[in-house]
Amino acid sequence: MQVSLSTRGALERRLEVAVPADEVNQEFEQRLKKVARSARLKGFRPGKAPLPVVRKQFGEQVHAEVVDHLIRSSLAQVLREQNLTPAGGPRIEPIAMAPGAELKFAAVFEVMPQIQVKPPEEAEIARPSAQVTEADIDAMVESMRRQRPEFTAVERPAEDTDRVTIDYTGVMDGEPFEGGNGTDVVVVLGRPENRPELDAALKGASVGQTRTVTVTFPAETTTNATLAGKSADLTVTVKQIEAQSLPAVDDAFCRAFGVEEGGVESLRSEVRKSMERELADLVRGRLRSQVLDALHSHNPIEVPRTLIDEQVQQMQLEAARNMGVRDASQLPPREQFEAAARKRAALGLILGHIIQSEGLQADRQRVEARLEDLIASFPDPEQARSAYRKSREAMRQIESAVLEDQVIDWFLARAKVNDEPKSFQELTGFGRESETR
């Protein structure tokens, strides 16, 4: 067998392989005799047809099978001998495949890149460091109170945060329009989703009072495209004004949030636990992002086009599912995923190299813990657990995620990790929205 290897670019290789004619003919004759032993041909008992008749009837089919077999077997042998690892399925280019002659073909493919991971000790990672304080818990409980406001009818002009019930009629260019009338419509003044012109008109209004206001619909409105960017005149009548108050933090309030026993103390304890879990997850996420960014930027590698294309396709499908698109012709353009796909593919190779070189294996306790987290939200956790365990692909994905976590831990244990003091609010952004209301 003759072999010629050429390099095209950093990763692409072209192998030319020639299988001698006598080897091709020998394989052909062996397969033809095997076919003859079971062939059913008209006028002959099964397996008794003369070989020339069998050759005439099945020769072309057998030759095609021989070519396919020899391409696969000879290519596998050459790849082993040349110590080559294709990144994807080779593209076969026929050169000579005539019956009775030598078989010659070319295989074009990309090889996996050589990876050398720089020592993690050279990297610096900033680890956010924060604690959940009593003030943070106070702010969270206050936010929970705002989730359950109470409203009481009042006999005064409307103020910010009041709930105002109105009737309205509208005209556009002096004519009524679809959606221009409303009865018993409730507006809580000061909400960011309100039309600002309507908010301004209702503040200071009293029950029974009628006001006229001009509102402009946003250009990007999706509720009624015919109104986009247009203005309408609304005649608004105030029917009821209710002042907003926040509930007392008592046993009833605690029960509304699922705390049946222990009252306020238990509620605050549960709130603390939830906030600490959120904080831990956020810190872990920040560390993970930094580690992956460091691995990618410190270890530049040439990524096989095959792997990039696989990631692009996967990201296109994920985006389509999120948008509710089922038609394959409506997939988002691949260009917008190219950079992210290249990074994802590169990180997959780097992480795989570390897992192999460090001899990492998925920690069974972590696998079980991640499985329990996944099934916790299912209506029937037992059924979900059984389904996951029966799916090799699902369990493989869990194990891959666990192995990635173990690589993160391996990196952090060796890198220079500097604590960066932060507050709960700085890390989570909690409280900023309420401060601006």
List of domains in the chain: 2-110 (3.30.70.1050), 149-245 (3.10.50.40), 263-436 (1.10.3120)
Q: Kindly report the pTM of this predicted structure.
A: 0.75
pLDDT digits (tens, 9 = 90+) for 297-332: 999 999 999 999 999 999 999 888 888 877 777 788
pLDDT > 90 fraction of the chain, expressed in percent and rounded: 75
Virtual torsion, Cα 34, 36, 39, 44, nearest 10 deg:
-160
Average pLDDT over residues 251-275: 94
For residue range 334-389, what is the model confidence (pLDDT) as tens digits?
Answer: 899 999 999 999 999 999 999 999 999 999 999 999 999 999 989 999 999 999 99
For residue range 225-257, what is the model confidence (pLDDT) as tens digits?
677 788 899 999 999 999 999 999 999 999 999
Residue 216's CB: how many other CB atoms inside 10 A?
13
Average pLDDT over residues 133-159: 94
DSSP letter at 304 equals -
The pLDDT confidence band at residue 435, using thresholds 50, 70 and 90, is very low
C-alpha–C-alpha distance, residues 206 and 52, integer Å: 106
Amino acid occupying residue 277: R
What digits encode the pLDDT tens for the residues 26-42? 999 898 888 888 887 87
User: SS3 letters for 117-182?
Assistant: CCCHHHCEEEEEECCCCHHHHHHHHHHHHHHCCEEEECCCCCCCCCEEEEEEEEEECCEEEEEEEE
Nearest to 234 by CA among 186, 179, 281, 310: 179
Lowest mean pLDDT among 93-97, 99-103, 173-177, 249-253: 173-177
Neighbours of 324 (CB within 10 A): 6
